[in-house]
Structure 1
Amino acid sequence: MDFNFTEEQEMVRDGLSRMVREQYDWETRRVAIESEAGWRPEVWAKLAELGILGMPFSEEDGGFGGGAVDAMVVMEEFGKGLVVEPFVPTVVCAGGFLKHAGTAAQKEEHIGGIVDGSQVFAFAYAEPRGRYDYANLETTAKKDGSGYVLNGHKAVVIGAPWASHLVVTARTSGGQRDADGVSVFIVDKSADGVVTRDYETVDGRRASEVYFENVSVPAEALIGDEGAALPLIEQVTDEAIAAQCAEACGAMKVAHAMTVEYSRQRKQFGVPIGSFQVLQHRMVDMYTEYEQSVSLTYLATLRLDAEVNERKRAVSAAKVRIGQAAHHIGQEAVQIHGGNGVTDEYAIGHYFKRLTIFDSEFGNVDHHMKRHIALS
């Protein structure tokens, strides 16, 4: 198995690393997330200009012919800078649905907008009582003539305050938890009956509670076959998990480096605390957790095109191990930083928050442990 990156991927990594370092420094990010908007549209436009938003799409769809490995490279660099712009909801999730099941008309209407940055998507899948079960849906889409009418409530929709469109899961038939009867729709966020309540998340991003009150959508809004979308949702969310594992690896790498550097600077009893053997051991353990996480991220990414159960096992294994590692590295980093680790002015506390929240997205450690066991 070849673990080497292509020349183009290395160029993308170098370019993004430079952009994050020069234009996404710590203070600039703080100002952005504390602003009313909560993000920088000019950064999104820059990513479009660099071709980052179109990289995972095929050339036939208007992209640059990349794939999951390219998304992994991008997300690792984003993790290093705690980038809040909605690459996963827009490019990985919405783009994934369009790539795998979109009609020619849907691709023509939306992929170009994703690539040039004019269309921003959010993925509205989670519900207050869903418990990571994509089929556990109270949101409904009932036939109305040739179209559908949506009603329901979606919770913690990441990136929704910035979105122009939503990808929404809804039940078109069957019981609340049936595997059959799940469908996916593209909904214009400005449509009549879409109501949002926006807020800042713990890790500095923005999200919304989204309510659908008799929202009419045309038949052309349906992605894939009606009532048969659950396998498609699982495929796209597995791709999103792999991308976020790469993001977590980037954040863990920086958190570890910050901690090592701080231990060299901070003195106690007249010597740097990094000279204490017990802290050296703890920082070595952090590095070991990071390296294991990188390996499992590579495996999950390379298994995204494998047979369904093999893909699910690899992704769940990565989500479990990296969820555990993210907790460990985040908590150790904060403890070694001492009181500075929990202040808003120090970057390490924000890395801790992002690494902590990682576990709750698309299924936590316990959920994916159970899925892996069931598949084994």
Structure 2
Amino acid sequence: MHTHYTPEQQMLADGVDRFVREHGRFDQWRKLTSEGAAFDEGNWRRMADLGWLALAIPEEDGGFGATTAETMIVAEGLGRGLLREPYVSTCVLAARMLARGGNADQRELLAGIAEGRVRIATALGEEGGRFQLNQVRTRAEHTGTGFSLSGAKSWVPDADSAQWIIVPARTRGTANASDGISLFLVAADAPGLRRTDFRSPDHQHISQLQLEGVALQESALLGSLHGGLELLEYGVDHAIAARLAEACGAMETVAAMTLDYLKVRKQFGATIGSFQALQHRMVDMTIACEEARSMLQLVAAHMDAAPAERQRAVSAAKARIGQCGYYVGHQAVQLHGGVGTSDELAVSHYLKRLAMIDMSFGNADFHRGRFIALSDAVIEEAEVAA
């Protein structure tokens, strides 16, 4: 499926492709991974110089005010090169929430994001939360002069390189209520905040956070008091769209690698790409990539729609692209044979990345359930209106 870009978007896509060819080689990825680096700081500076970090930032805050389509172009390139720069965490998820709900002081951070000086993580996951954004047990108690945060966050991508962390906390209500969730901008070195770092299977840097009476000023509140869930959902949906673009980039790249391998690997005196059974599997991989691309376009077309309509499109795409990603990744490894499982070959790492993208912000099973629930709600509203 051909993606129709405007001339400006095509220039951006061409620039991203050049960047990935020069700075997203697998040997560079392996070197960074062996050194234990979260990402390439040089790449981050280059991305800032190219203006990519400012795409989602409004013009009045020093950015370009670009649409979701432009950030998806950059994210797709990151997927093609397995690049680990915290683009989605900082420049999509955090930037979108700051731009929509930040106060004057918080919005000043957007200029720092655009320049590459500021990175912001978001602490979504809690034990037993099962991807539900309203499952928040971390508490924020009002102290009269501010707030005191206590609780734990179990899965926070890119927190080890962030200067700030957005923390959802409950300011009233029960642990699973939609009302009563507030968002707070917390300095990464705030007293009472402890961080434990580890790596995910695809070598992304993840952290667990323990908050023990973290004292915050009133100005740390991001968005409205008790009403932070809507802002959080807005930011997460944009982050999902970027991750799905990343998945499409990774799928198409690993499929191309597999096709190249089938053309040169010989067995029984012939290239294995001449075997009809393997040709059929390669066709199925290509179809899965095309399905994923079509669902990506569905998401891009609905990001400015009403919240329920946007969420339905995001969940439909997340579920299907997650399935396609697993299929393409597994087929790529199998068609490479035993070498496909080796650490020295890029193919296995693309599979791991696709698996972790499926798990981020809710896996395919979760989003199938959310799509059904949202669809039932739409049907009920239509019946009531009739």
1:79 matched to 2:89: no
TM-aligned CA deviation for residue 358 of structure 1: 1.3
Residue in structure 2 matched with residue 291 of structure 1 by the alignment: 290
User: Does the residue aligned with 2:55 lie in a helix, a strand or coil?
Assistant: coil
User: Does the residue aligned with 1:149 lie in a helix, a strand or coil?
Assistant: strand
Residue in structure 1 matched with residue 52 of structure 2 by the alignment: 52
Residue in structure 1 matched with residue 172 of structure 2 by the alignment: 173
CA contact (8 A) 2:124 2:155 kept: no
TM-aligned CA deviation for residue 57 of structure 1: 1.6
User: Does the residue aligned with 2:54 lie in a helix, a strand or coil?
Assistant: coil
Residue in structure 2 matched with residue 348 of structure 1 by the alignment: 347
1:333-372 residue pairs with structure 2 within 5 A?
333-372=332-371
Residue in structure 2 matched with residue 212 of structure 1 by the alignment: 211
TM-aligned CA deviation for residue 33 of structure 1: 2.0
Residue in structure 1 matched with residue 99 of structure 2 by the alignment: 99
Paired AA for residue 8 in structure 1: E
Paired AA for residue 236 in structure 1: G
Task: Provide structure 2 residue ranges, at least 5 long, that are not aligned to the other structure.
Answer: 376-386
TM-aligned CA deviation for residue 246 of structure 1: 0.4
TM-aligned CA deviation for residue 65 of structure 1: 2.4
Paired AA for residue 194 in structure 2: V
1:6-155 residue pairs with structure 2 within 5 A?
6-108=6-108, 110-155=109-154
Residue in structure 1 matched with residue 320 of structure 2 by the alignment: 321
User: Does the residue aligned with 2:201 lie in a helix, a strand or coil?
Assistant: coil
User: Does the residue aligned with 2:142 lie in a helix, a strand or coil?
Assistant: strand
CA contact (8 A) 2:54 2:63 kept: yes
Paired AA for residue 68 in structure 1: T
Count, aligned residues:
374
TM-aligned CA deviation for residue 104 of structure 1: 2.5
Task: Provide structure 1 residue ranges, at least 5 long, that are not aligned to the other structure.
Answer: none
User: Does the residue aligned with 1:152 lie in a helix, a strand or coil?
Assistant: strand
1:188 matched to 2:191: no
After superposition, the C-alpha distances for 1:273-297 in whole angstroms (9 at most, x for unaligned) are: 1111111011111111101111111
Residue in structure 2 matched with residue 201 of structure 1 by the alignment: 200
Residue in structure 1 matched with residue 222 of structure 2 by the alignment: 223
Paired AA for residue 26 in structure 1: F
User: Does the residue aligned with 2:149 lie in a helix, a strand or coil?
Assistant: strand
CA-based RMSD of the aligned residues comes to 1.2
CA distance in 2, matches of 1:310, 1:38: 36
CA contact (8 A) 1:156 1:209 kept: yes
CA distance in 2, matches of 1:368, 1:290: 19
Paired AA for residue 335 in structure 1: Q
TM-aligned CA deviation for residue 210 of structure 1: 1.1
CA contact (8 A) 1:57 1:67 kept: no
TM-score normalised by structure 1 residue count? 0.97
Paired AA for residue 262 in structure 2: S
After superposition, the C-alpha distances for 1:251-271 in whole angstroms (9 at most, x for unaligned) are: 000010000011111111111
CA distance in 1, matches of 2:305, 2:187: 33
Residue in structure 1 matched with residue 382 of structure 2 by the alignment: none
After superposition, the C-alpha distances for 1:344-369 in whole angstroms (9 at most, x for unaligned) are: 00000100100111111111111110
TM-aligned CA deviation for residue 3 of structure 1: 5.7
After superposition, the C-alpha distances for 1:101-131 in whole angstroms (9 at most, x for unaligned) are: 11233112x1011100111111101111111
User: Does the residue aligned with 2:53 lie in a helix, a strand or coil?
Assistant: coil
CA contact (8 A) 1:182 1:226 kept: yes
After superposition, the C-alpha distances for 1:194-243 in whole angstroms (9 at most, x for unaligned) are: 11111111112111111111111111111111111111111111111111
User: Does the residue aligned with 1:130 lie in a helix, a strand or coil?
Assistant: coil
CA distance in 2, matches of 1:39, 1:373: 37
Q: Taking structure 1 as reference, are residues 31 and 3 closer, same or farther at Cα in structure 2, changes over 3 Å only? A: closer
User: Does the residue aligned with 2:336 lie in a helix, a strand or coil?
Assistant: helix
Residue in structure 2 matched with residue 374 of structure 1 by the alignment: 373
CA distance in 2, matches of 1:320, 1:176: 26
CA contact (8 A) 1:33 1:205 kept: no
CA distance in 1, matches of 2:335, 2:241: 29
TM-aligned CA deviation for residue 148 of structure 1: 0.6
Paired AA for residue 79 in structure 1: G
User: Percent sequence identity over matched residues?
Assistant: 43
CA distance in 1, matches of 2:352, 2:153: 23
After superposition, the C-alpha distances for 1:130-179 in whole angstroms (9 at most, x for unaligned) are: 11111111111111122111111111211111111101111111011111
User: Does the residue aligned with 1:375 lie in a helix, a strand or coil?
Assistant: helix
Residue in structure 2 matched with residue 232 of structure 1 by the alignment: 231
CA contact (8 A) 1:182 1:227 kept: yes
CA distance in 1, matches of 2:271, 2:113: 49
TM-aligned CA deviation for residue 78 of structure 1: 0.7
Residue in structure 1 matched with residue 307 of structure 2 by the alignment: 308
TM-score normalised by structure 2 residue count? 0.95
User: Does the residue aligned with 1:215 lie in a helix, a strand or coil?
Assistant: strand
Runs of 4+ in 1 over 4 A off after TM superposition: none
CA contact (8 A) 1:56 1:63 kept: yes
